[in-house]
Amino acid sequence: MKKLFTLLLISLLVQTVSAQEEELLKLGLEARVDYTRQTIDGHHINDESGFKGKFINLLISGDLGHGLSYAYRQRLNKAHKDQSFFDATDYLYLSYTTPNDRWTLSAGKQVLGIGGYEYDMAPIDAYFYSEYCSQIACYQLGASLTHTLKGGRDSFMAQVTESPFRAEKEMYAYNLMWVGKHGSFSALYSLNAIEYLPGEYIYYVALGNRLEVGRVTLDLDIMNRATDRQPFFFNDCSVMGQVKVTACDYLHLSARATYDVNRTHHAGDFCVQPGTELTRLSAAVEVYPIRGKRNVRLHAAYSYTYGSDDAELNVLRNKQSIIDFGLTWRMNLLSFTPNRRK
């Protein structure tokens, strides 16, 4: 049924594009396959080891003309519950941008507006996450309004979405975000108020900082979380840092460290639970074997986690060691740009 739905969708889009001059269609597919071996305190974890089909993603985007555009990404290998195909949809939204490119209104399933460069990374490009990013459900239904300042270096977004913590209840997330680019410095900052129970909120201050100097990129993300029932700063927070070096066009090296802690005794944070204090150290090597192209990538990565993991639902565990080898490829299946009438 899933394959039939996908084929019908592609057929419909192609026919629609052929019939209207204003439309542009881009259709792509991306996939990643890994071999993973995981141990905890030296003990092999068989269920988490072996060859893994990590991602098969269908990507469709296009320009409908008159300022309208759309974007769609579907995980074809992701399980969905309650017979809802939408559970495996990362994003599917329609956007309208004003003629001067200063205002954009978007609606549909989209990325929850939280700051930070680890959070912003596409899942297919991430090898190891912090505990926070391993737990957050970052794609939600909602709407956003973005204003871009003259010059295009700063954008400000206001967004309302469903809460990532809803459990068949009506709950929402309210997000304000700044995206900035000034010379070698870039920023992804946000303020968030997210319902974790009806009428009960957890508040985020998320500061994503990036510095690009030559072939070196430095990222530092700082996130503080608090509910109304606890002191605001430093009791529940995460810090994520990365150094990435483009050694040459076909070889990239990176090292990452993440730290998640929750010293509170109030169960308001469902991502980093009380009793958690975990540090993850990781490194990765990426090779692009086709000269001048990035559509095929080989990687080798390793991570080690240590600390207190008293919470039973943690993804990261004390003395957890993971080695991962993988292959990623991206394919442009169809690109259609109709001729414009002069």
Q: What is the pLDDT of residues 170-197, one digit of tens each?
A: 999 999 999 999 999 999 999 999 999 9
Helix (H, G, I), strand (E, B) or coil at 271: coil
Residue 55 and residue 53: Cα distance in Å, rounded? 6
From 63, 61, 83, select the one nearest 74 (Cα to Cα).
Answer: 61
Q: Fold for 16-336, please state it.
A: Porin (2.40.160)
Is pTM beyond 0.85 here? yes
Query: Of all helices (H) and strands (E), which one includes residue 17?
Result: helix 2-19
Query: Where does the pLDDT of residue 2 fall: very low under 50, low under 70, confident under 90, or very high at 90 and above?
Result: very low
From 202, 199, 222, select the one nearest 210 (Cα to Cα).
Answer: 222
User: Could you state, in order of their start, the residue ranges of all structural domains in the chain?
Assistant: 16-336
Q: Is the pLDDT of residue 167 over 90?
A: no
Residue 27 and residue 70: Cα distance in Å, rounded? 12
Q: Find out whether 91 and 75 touch, Cβ atoms under 8 Å.
A: no
Q: Is the pLDDT of residue 211 over 50?
A: yes
* Contact residues for 289 (Cβ-Cβ < 8 A; gap 6+): 250, 296, 298
Query: Of all helices (H) and strands (E), which one includes residue 71?
Result: strand 68-75
Within 99-235, residue ranges assigned H as helices are 117-120, 131-135
Query: Where does the pLDDT of residue 272 fall: very low under 50, low under 70, confident under 90, or very high at 90 and above?
Result: very high
The structure tokens listed for 16 are 């629609």
pLDDT at 81: 56
Rounded alpha-carbon distances, angstroms, from residue 79 to 83, 85, 88, 327: 10, 9, 7, 22
Q: Find out whether 294 and 320 touch, Cβ atoms under 8 Å.
A: no
Helix (H, G, I), strand (E, B) or coil at 20: coil
Residue 56 and residue 3: Cα distance in Å, rounded? 13
pLDDT in tens, 246-260: 999 999 999 999 999
pLDDT in tens, 103-121: 999 999 999 999 999 999 9
30-44: average pLDDT: 96
